[in-house]
Amino acid sequence: MDDARISRSGSSPRLWLAGGWLLLALLAAVLAPLIAPQDPLAQDLMLERLPPFWLDGAEPGYWLGTDSLGRDLLSRLIFGGRIAFIVAFAAASAACVVGSALGLIAGYFGGWADRIISRIVDIWMAFPPVLFAILLVAVLGTGLSSVIIAIAVIDWTRFCRVIRAEAMGQARMDYVESARIAGYGRIGIMLREVLPNVLPSIVALLSLEMGIAVIVEAILSFVNLSISTDDPTWGGIIAEGRLSIHQAWWVLVFPLITLILTVLSFSQFGEALKARFDPVLR
């Protein structure tokens, strides 16, 4: 009991810090056309590789400097956030719905359904996920929807494995038995009794998965397979930064910091939410 209380009181600043960063990044992405100081696509060879504002040679209005084509880094990061968040929400939700549904079915019904779903999960687990994602996007053709579909197709197993195990545990509980005696149908019990109890895990996984989706999108952009090459993406900026690392380190450092903060925030946010909603810890 004491441990639970400690982790819960400790979870609050975590929740606020992580949530704060995510809200800030999300707002910036949504309001990108209003707040970005420059056009993210405007090239100006006169302004190439400007350093960030505190270094000699910086230009006002280009706060974080420019890349090798003279494009404003801050504006590109802000606009890149749009794609990152769209992918995060769409891909993670799709993976969540498919994976949780299959996990619930496998865990609650067991038998053949479980055997088939588990075998498919085994097969999926034998793929190197990054290679699988690259392969799918190459097959589907680059573009936002391809990236979202690829991530959902690969990562539903994360939800499926966890929810299956939890639903299995729940299915053995007394209250499920009594609901059955009371005459509820199997699917009714699954949705009414089992689903609410595995919801904290789903929420935590969903938040974690959003962070993973952001990373996968960045990786795909990094190997030049995400969306059209014109739109700024965090992975695309990183790929460019990796190339000009010795001339303009800031092109790599700022997107890297953005990515790390976003990924850490998603995972911390998920764990804090789980701790808050988990009835056992409360």
Partner 1 sequence: MLLQRFLVRLLTMLVTLFGVAVVVFVVIRVAPGDPIAMMLPPGASDDDIARLRALYGLDKTIVQQFFIWLGGVLRGDFGTSISLRQDVLGLVFDRLPATLELATVALLMAVAIGGTAAILGARERGTAFEAGIDIASGTALSIPDFLWGLVLILLFGVLVPVFDISGRVSPQLDLPFVTQFYLVESLLRLRFDLTWDLLKHMLMPAVALALPLAAIIAQLLKQSLKEVLDLDYVVLARVKGFSETQVILREALKNAALPTLTLVGVQFTFLIGGTVIVERLFSYEGLGNMAIDAVINRDLPLIQGIVLVFALLFVLINLAVDMMYALLNPRLRHG
Q: Is 259 in the site for partner 1 (CB under 8 A)?
A: yes
CB of 153 to partner 1, least distance (A): 9
Tell me the C-alpha distance between 49 and 63, whole Å.
12
Q: Is 165 in the site for partner 1 (CB under 8 A)?
A: no
Nearest to partner 1 of 71, 158 (CB atom): 158
Nearest to partner 1 of 162, 176 (CB atom): 162
Nearest to partner 1 of 122, 177 (CB atom): 122
Q: Is 249 in the site for partner 1 (CB under 8 A)?
A: yes
Choices 25-33, 35-43, 118-126, 169-177; region in contact with partner 1 by CB under 8 A: 118-126
Q: Is 120 in the site for partner 1 (CB under 8 A)?
A: yes
The candidate with the shortest Cα–Cα distance to 163, out of 230, 96, 228, is 96
> What six digits make up the tokens of 189?
């019990």
Nearest to partner 1 of 115, 186 (CB atom): 115
- Cβ neighbour number for residue 185 with a 10 Å cutoff: 11
Nearest to partner 1 of 43, 142 (CB atom): 142
Choices 42-50, 63-71, 72-80, 136-144; region in contact with partner 1 by CB under 8 A: 136-144
Q: Is 138 in the site for partner 1 (CB under 8 A)?
A: yes
CB of 29 to partner 1, least distance (A): 20
Task: Put residue 50 in one of left, alpha, beta given phi > 0 → left and psi -120 to 50 → alpha.
Answer: beta
Nearest to partner 1 of 109, 132 (CB atom): 132
Q: In this chain, which of 31, 127, 143, 282 binds partner 1, going by CB under 8 A? A: 127
- Which chain residues interact with partner 1 by CB under 8 A? 119-120, 122-123, 125-132, 134-136, 138-139, 141, 211-212, 215, 218-219, 222-225, 238, 242, 245-246, 249, 252-253, 256, 259-260, 263-264, 267-268
